Amino acid sequence: MLGIISFVGFTLLVAVISYLATRKTDENSSDGYFLGGRSLTAPVIAGSLLLTNLSTEQIVGLNGQSYTEGIVVMAWETLAAIAMVVTAIFLLPRYLKGGITTVPQFLKDRYDVTTKTLTSALFLTGYVVVLLPTILYSGALAISTMFDIPAMLDVSGTAALVICIWGIGIIGSIYAVFGGLKAVAVSDTINAIGLLIGGLLIPIFGLMAIGDGSVFGGLSVLYEANPEKFDSTGDITNSVPFSTLFTGMMLINLFYWGTNQQIIQRALGAKNLAEGQKGLLLASFIKILGPLIVVLPGIIAFHYFKGGLEMPDQAYPALVNAVLPKYFVGFFVAVLFGAILSSFNSVLNSSVTLFGLDIYKQHVNPEASERTVVKYGKIFGIVLAIGAMLIAPLIANAGSLFEYLQEVNGIYSIPIFTIIVVGYLTKRVPAIAAKIGIISGSVLYIISQFVLKPNLVESALEKAAAAGVTDERALALVEAKAYPHFIHVMAILFVLNMVIMLVIGKIWPNKEPFELKYTEQVSIEPYKYVKQVGLLVCAIVIGLYVYFAR
């Protein structure tokens, strides 16, 4: 009962503060609703960025991978810090100079309307088909399990899952659809504080459990007993081979933190460039600490349960139930609930933004007033949320999706990132090159990962079996060598797409060079220490890899 009270109390506190902070925001204008009136400050931007990124599929999924592989999977967190630095220094100044509300809006100015529409459609497809239902399902599963909803309500596991899905979906929709970006960002900031506190409690109590009450004693025991788990350089059989850090891994992070509408929309709502850069840099510092929440608990669980869990993805919830004092459970579930809501309402708000500005305003009703655009964007958001809530229970048998989602996202992430990079680095590459880049990038990646790879891997494993190879380690090496890792494939296709676009630009260049005009929406005076702080962040990340290299 105490857990339920603390859960409800913290959740209501977030809702009340979000309402008080946003009640005077003009949400009938595009800037007011989609960008929080371009009034977001550094702490709000940082908190929203982190909570948008961090949710149950990442907390559970990455800890499940670290349970098996160790800290090598920290690449998803630590390289994100460098990507945020690059975004702060190179991309955000251009975004705010152009006064854009969506990333596809820049593509319209740089190329043409068709390129913008294709990109918006790709973003929406990825959000609607994959992200929203997955966030709802994984979040509902975590809440249902930790609160034992089936026993509490005397219903079946399936019924409890559906109840949690609709509960998360409805509350998240209220924030995202009716509150706009500022409500999302404010609630994210409060929950970010809670997540940092609650998330750090798990490894602290876990280390105390294996160190006879001492955190540092537990860390010493953990390291001495499992030194192989603290190697930052993975081999080709790992989910993140060390070589990928120098190829596609950085591209994935740059796309996610620098061009993904779901994420960059927070920085686009900055009151000025300096605040936006400080927000990104603050988030990058905190992101370096991310492995303490999404990697270290998995290693602790491996030691605590002596590697005896049936499924790696059980590592985090099993550790929480084993080491967290009962009086903290309600608060922790409330924080986790906030992280789930953050990811859901952030994706939903970005989907509403893309539809309202890039689809409805552009193609359905070009003469629509800003109030009308916001109105129909909200209607689309409600329909989208209901659709996601209906689809989410259907993926109950899909299993762990973290690595699979990263691979599937390559269908649209690398093509979009390519045309944005070429758009900023060149002035005469034409719109036809961007269209070809989007289509060729998506089609080639699909052929590579879902046609060529399965056939070649299957053939290699059959040959190994015929040769009498049965050792799991040997079979893993055979599979890894049969086809390049999907992160390497992303890098290869990125370079290939750029070459294709540049060749087209050389043969059929635009007659007039593209010039990015300053719209004077906000001040673009940069934060005076942005480069120095950015270099410090990069040095810390490199230092971590050097320290843990074995």
The overall average pLDDT reported for the chain is 83
Tell me, yes or no, whether 294 and 381 share the same domain.
yes
Q: How many degrees, rounded to 5, is the angle at CA 164 between CA 159 and CA 165?
A: 95
| Counted domains in the chain | 2
Domain with 228 in it: 2-400+520-548
Tell me, yes or no, whether 76 and 184 share the same domain.
yes
Tell me, yes or no, whether 391 and 463 share the same domain.
no
CATH classification at residue 246: 1.20.1730.10
Tell me, yes or no, whether 127 and 236 share the same domain.
yes
Tell me, yes or no, whether 475 and 328 share the same domain.
no
**Closest to 20 (Cα-Cα) out of 183, 160, 176:** 183
Number of other CB atoms surrounding residue 342 within 10 Å: 30
**DSSP state, residue 73:** G
Tell me, yes or no, whether 454 and 329 share the same domain.
no
* Phi-psi group of 520: left, alpha or beta (phi > 0 → left; psi -120 to 50 → alpha; rest → beta): left
pTM of the predicted protein model: 0.81
Could you report the per-residue pLDDT of 509-525, keeping only the tens digit for each? 998 899 888 888 888 89
From CA 92, how far away is CA 97, in angstroms rounded? 8
Tell me, yes or no, whether 294 and 416 share the same domain.
no
- Matching residue, tokens 């970005």: 350
Tell me, yes or no, whether 299 and 386 share the same domain.
yes
Tell me, yes or no, whether 312 and 415 share the same domain.
no
Residue at 115: amino acid letter: T
Tell me, yes or no, whether 436 and 359 share the same domain.
no
Tell me, yes or no, whether 314 and 354 share the same domain.
yes
Q: What is the pLDDT along the chain (550 residues), one digit of tens a residue?
A: 555 665 666 666 666 665 565 555 544 444 444 444 566 788 888 877 877 677 777 887 788 889 999 999 999 889 999 999 999 999 999 888 888 777 778 888 899 989 988 888 887 877 777 778 878 887 887 777 777 788 888 888 788 888 988 988 887 777 655 554 455 556 666 666 777 787 888 999 999 999 999 999 999 999 999 999 999 887 888 888 999 999 999 999 999 899 887 788 778 888 899 999 999 999 999 899 889 999 999 999 999 998 888 778 778 878 887 898 877 777 777 777 777 777 777 777 777 777 887 788 878 888 878 778 777 877 888 888 888 888 888 776 554 556 666 787 888 888 999 999 999 899 999 999 999 999 999 999 999 998 999 999 999 998 888 888 888 888 888 888 899 999 999 999 999 999 999 999 999 999 889 988 888 888 889 999 999 999 999 999 999 999 998 7
Tell me, yes or no, whether 482 and 412 share the same domain.
yes
Structure tokens at 428: 């005469």
From CA 12, how far away is CA 171, in angstroms rounded? 11
Could you report the per-residue pLDDT of 171-191, keeping only the tens digit for each? 777 765 555 445 555 666 666
**Closest to 119 (Cα-Cα) out of 362, 310, 290:** 362
